[in-house]
């Protein structure tokens, strides 16, 4: 394309989407480099952790050459393995339960008008609004008040709660994209409520459910503060383990664990991104 | 009916704990410091402003007022830095061809979803005396001695900016994407200079995003825990650190609960004040789609 062709042509009635606007690209000089610098700053901490996980030096903050030794140590370490298994278990249970709760709520709140479900929306959004430190100590206080011993059970119960809104919002967004006519058509053809739910609503919701589940999984896997307070000594999760380690010293082994955690997050996120793309292609015109 | 399980669950796991923490803040410290005990008292709230002398009289104690001031001011600095960094990114992404934008937005979202603990402790390496920043500075001869960057308020702010930046970029982008940049072209045609277009045309158009982003950064930043804990090194306490301390080392649960209630009230007031402009941008929904 020649430069002239890329410029918007004046006098021509522009379509709804408008021509590709190259002019504003030049409009704010310095914005492009600034954007790249900021993006680099966002990735700097991630890159540093990954790079230093291959550091040969025992002291992680001093670069001393390339080594894969720490990864083999990580896979051999029983504490790390236990913390990883704990984290994955909690995240798996929290994902399944929160998605079921969220999907039910999203479907129900779609059909009821707007008035009756104010409280429901407030309480579902609450984990996003209440500061994490407050939620952490409050949940701890409640478990102590009702005398439930802290452990994997308490931490799983807490994780389910803050995963619900993250599972809820993508499912709700997906529902909002669907047309009422689809359900009316199913009803006209004689399907009862249960059949509509099973054969129409759930299959159409599936991409929303999948991205909700992936987000819930990541959120559970990443949580530190709430796990720190309600997990109890016998049920250390991976971020709590990492925190305990870096309080002493940052070793390349911690960086290796963190790198693996980051890798898992990026894989799950990319899956969510791709699912989201297929969604918008199919539903939106 | 399908909403009932979720609503009931969250009422028990979010609503009840909040009620319990309010109750705890009005009780007395337990004998060994874990948990609480009767009688009912407002002592924990008195402690926010006063210190009780040995003879039982009260003296004004500004320790915790200072903690709150520190939390709010560091959060405010973080917000301003995020704002300055976010506008170019958001506007730049919004002016890319539509087919690029989802990928660029995804690039901004990845750090947002990755482990905040990892992203925060990474700055312990970055800002260390022997870390990359100091190696670059001494190596290039800009400074002779490595700067002690860690365990300062600056380090805390750097960590918080890195943690909260996507919360500012995404809502501003949501506004900028809807802005018709032909209006900027029109302004140029009418003879406006770049700075005028930015100030008079673009900034007003992305204001809802700026308002939403400010709230989404400022509110969680006031309650930040990890960044002051790891990067501030306990030299400057923010309210989140004091709450954590009261529930762990200091073992004064009623006082920790009172601080938690205070932080919650501050947050809810801020959220109520700001919720309408945020909803208008659809920023939060967009973040999770």
- Among B175, B178, B165, B163, smallest CA distance to B210 is for B175
What's the gap between Cα B155 and its chain centre? Answer: 15
**Does residue A22 belong to any structural domain of this protein?**
yes
**How many structural domains comprise chain B?**
1
- Report CB contact under 8 Å: B14, A123: yes
**Per the domain annotation, does A10 fall within a domain?**
no
Q: Under DSSP, is residue B140 helix (H, G, I), strand (E, B) or coil? A: coil
Alpha helix locations (H) across B42-139? Answer: 43-49, 63-94, 101-113, 116-126, 132-139
Please indicate if any CB of chain B lies within 8 Å of the CB of A19.
Answer: no
Q: How confident is the model at residue A88 (pLDDT cuts 50, 70, 90)?
A: very high
What are the tens digits of pLDDT across the range B156-187?
A: 999 999 999 999 999 899 888 888 877 877 87
Q: Is B131 on the interface with A (CB under 8 A)?
A: yes
In a domain, A11, yes or no: no
Whether B249 and chain A come into contact, CB under 8 Å, resolves to no
| Enclosing domain of residue A39 | 18-68
Nearest CA in chain A to B256: A137
**In terms of Cα–Cα distance, which of A142, A170, A147 is closest to A158?**
A142
pLDDT tens-digit readout, A176-232: 777 778 888 888 888 888 888 888 888 888 888 988 898 899 999 989 999 999 988
Chain pair A-B, CB pairs under 8 angstroms: 272
- In a domain, residue A5? The reply is no
Same domain, A140 and A193: yes
Strand partners, B58: B52
Domain boundary at A40, A68, A96, which? A68
Q: Quick one: pLDDT band at residue B258, thresholds 50, 70, 90?
A: very high
Averaged pLDDT of chain A = 81
Judge if pTM exceeds 0.95: no
Min Cα separation A136/chain B (Å): 9
Residue A223 falls inside a structural domain:
yes
- CATH number at B20 reads 1.10.3720.10
Q: What CA–CA distances, in Å, run from B26 to B14, B21, B40, B256? A: 19, 9, 6, 11
A164:B10 CB<8 A = yes
Q: Are A139 and B17 within 8 A, CB to CB?
A: yes
pLDDT score, position B282? 56
Domain harbouring A199, CATH code? 1.10.3720.10
Neighbours of B31 (CB within 10 A): 8
pLDDT, position B285:
53
pLDDT at B46 over 90: no
A37 and A134 housed in the same domain: no
Q: pLDDT value at position B278?
A: 62
Scanning every residue of chain A, which has its alpha carbon at the shortest distance from the alpha carbon of B233? Answer: A247
- Please give the DSSP secondary-structure letter assigned to residue B228: H
Task: Say if residues B218 and B76 touch (Cβ distance below 8 Å).
Answer: yes
DSSP code per residue over A53-84: TTB-SSSTTS---B--HHHHHHHH-HHHHHHH
Same domain, A90 and A211: yes
Is A209 within the bounds of a domain?
A: yes
Of A127, A129, A262, the CB nearest to B118: A262
Pair (A97, A188) in one structural domain:
yes
CB contact under 8 A, A104 and B288: no
For residue B33, the model assigns a pLDDT of 67
Burial of B46 (0-12, 13-18, 19+ CB in 10 A): middle
User: ipTM score here?
Assistant: 0.88
- The confidence band for A24, taking pLDDT boundaries of 50, 70 and 90, is very low
Considering only residues 138 to 197 of chain B, which have any Cβ-Cβ distance to chain A shorter than 8 Å?
162, 165-166, 169, 180-182, 184-185, 188, 194, 197
Which pLDDT does position A9 carry in this prediction?
A: 43
A183 with A272, same domain: the answer is yes
CA separation for the pair A222, A119 (Å, rounded): 28
Assess whether A142 and A234 both reside in one domain. yes
CA distance A141 to chain B (A): 6
Q: Which domain holds residue B218?
A: 4-288
For the cut 80, the answer to whether the pLDDT of residue A20 exceeds it is no
Whether residue A62 sits in one domain with residue A151: no
Question: How many domains does chain A fold into?
Answer: 2
A141 and A209 housed in the same domain: yes
Whether residues A105 and A41 share a domain: the answer is: no
Which of B1, B9, B14, B216 to mutate to test binding with chain A, by most A CBs within 10 Å of its CB?
B14
Contact: A158, B15; criterion CB under 8 Å: no
**Nearest residue to A125 via CA among A88, A96, A86, A168:** A168
For residue A141, the model assigns a pLDDT of 92
Please report the pLDDT score of residue A113 as a whole number.
Answer: 55
Binned at pLDDT 50, 70 and 90, residue B280 comes out as: low
Please indicate, yes or no, if residue A248 is contained in any of the structural domains. yes
Q: Which of residues 92-111 of A touch B (CB under 8 A)?
A: 100-102, 104-105, 107-109
pLDDT at residue number A184 = 83
Whether A12 is covered by a domain: the verdict is no
Section B7-24 average pLDDT: 90
- One domain, residues A255 and A115: yes
Whole-angstrom Cα distance, residue A272 to residue A173? 14
Q: Is A131 on the interface with B (CB under 8 A)?
A: yes
Interface of A with B in 47-76 (CB under 8 A): 48-49, 52, 60-62
B51 forms bridges with which residues in the sheet?
A: B59
Is A170's Cβ below 8 Å from some Cβ in B? Answer: yes
pLDDT, one tens digit per residue, over B126-158 is: 888 777 788 778 878 787 777 778 888 899 999
| B5 Cβ under 8 Å from any chain A Cβ | yes
Q: Which of A7-11, A155-159, A173-177, B42-46 has the highest mean pLDDT?
A: A155-159
The answer to whether residues A22 and A161 belong to one domain is no
Confidence of residue B249 (pLDDT cuts 50, 70, 90): confident
Residues A59 and A74 in one domain: no
């Amino acid at each position: 394309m020649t430069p002239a062709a890329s410029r918007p042509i004046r006098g021509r009635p522009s379509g709804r989407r408008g021509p590709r606007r190259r002019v504003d690209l030049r409009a704010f000089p310095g914005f492009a480099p600034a954007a790249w610098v900021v993006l680099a700053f966002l990735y700097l901490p991630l890159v540093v952790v990954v790079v230093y996980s291959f550091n040969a030096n025992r002291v992680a903050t001093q670069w001393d050459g390339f080594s894969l030794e720490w990864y083999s140590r990580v896979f051999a370490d029983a504490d790390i393995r236990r913390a990883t298994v704990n984290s994955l278990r909690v995240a798996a249970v929290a994902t399944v339960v929160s998605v079921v709760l969220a999907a039910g709520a999203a479907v129900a709140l779609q059909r009821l008008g707007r008035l009756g479900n104010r409280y429901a929306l407030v309480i579902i959004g609450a984990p996003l609004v209440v500061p994490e430190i407050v939620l952490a100590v409050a949940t701890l206080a409640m478990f102590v008040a009702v005398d439930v011993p802290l452990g994997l059970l308490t931490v799983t119960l807490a994780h389910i709660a803050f995963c619900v809104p993250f599972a809820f919002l993508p499912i709700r967004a997906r529902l909002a994209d669907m047309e009422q006519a689809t359900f009316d058509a199913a009803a006209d053809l004689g399907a009862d409520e249960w059949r509509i739910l099973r054969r129409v609503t759930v299959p159409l919701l599936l991409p929303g459910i999948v991205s909700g589940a992936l987000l819930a999984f990541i959120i559970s896997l990443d949580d530190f503060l709430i796990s720190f307070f309600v997990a109890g000594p016998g049920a250390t999760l991976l971020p709590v383990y990492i925190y305990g380690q870096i309080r002493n010293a940052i070793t390349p082994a911690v960086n290796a664990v963190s790198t693996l955690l980051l890798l898992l997050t990026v894989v799950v996120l990319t899956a969510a991104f791709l699912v989201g793309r297929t969604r918008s292609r199919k539903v939106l015109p | 009916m399908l909403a009932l399980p979720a609503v009931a669950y969250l009422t028990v796991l979010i609503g009840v704990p909040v009620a319990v923490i309010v109750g705890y803040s009005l009780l007395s410290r337990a004998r060994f410091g874990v948990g609480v005990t009767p009688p009912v008292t407002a002592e924990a709230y008195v402690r926010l402003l006063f210190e009780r002398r040995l003879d039982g009289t009260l003296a004004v104690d500004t320790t915790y007022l200072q903690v709150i001031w520190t939390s709010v001011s560091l959060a405010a600095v973080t917000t301003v830095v995020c704002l300055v960094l976010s506008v170019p990114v958001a506007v730049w992404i919004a002016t890319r061809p539509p087919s690029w934008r989802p990928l660029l937005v995804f690039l901004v979202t990845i750090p947002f979803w990755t482990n905040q603990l990892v992203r925060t402790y990474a700055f312990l390496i970055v800002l260390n005396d022997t870390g990359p920043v100091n190696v670059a500075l001494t190596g290039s001869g800009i400074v002779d001695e490595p700067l002690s960057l860690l365990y300062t308020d600056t380090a805390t702010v750097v960590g918080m900016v890195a943690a909260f930046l996507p919360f500012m970029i995404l809502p501003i982008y949501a506004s900028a994407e809807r802005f018709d940049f032909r209006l900027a072209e029109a302004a140029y045609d009418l003879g406006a200079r770049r700075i005028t277009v930015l100030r008079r045309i673009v900034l007003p158009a992305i204001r809802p995003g700026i308002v939403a982003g400010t709230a989404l950064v400022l509110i969680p930043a006031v309650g930040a825990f990890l960044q002051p804990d790891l990067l501030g090194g306990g030299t400057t306490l923010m309210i989140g650190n004091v709450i954590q301390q009261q529930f762990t080392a200091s073992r004064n649960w009623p006082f920790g609960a009172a601080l938690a209630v205070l932080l919650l009230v501050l947050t809810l007031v801020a959220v109520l004040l700001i919720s309408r402009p945020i909803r208008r941008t659809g920023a939060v929904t967009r973040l999770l789609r």
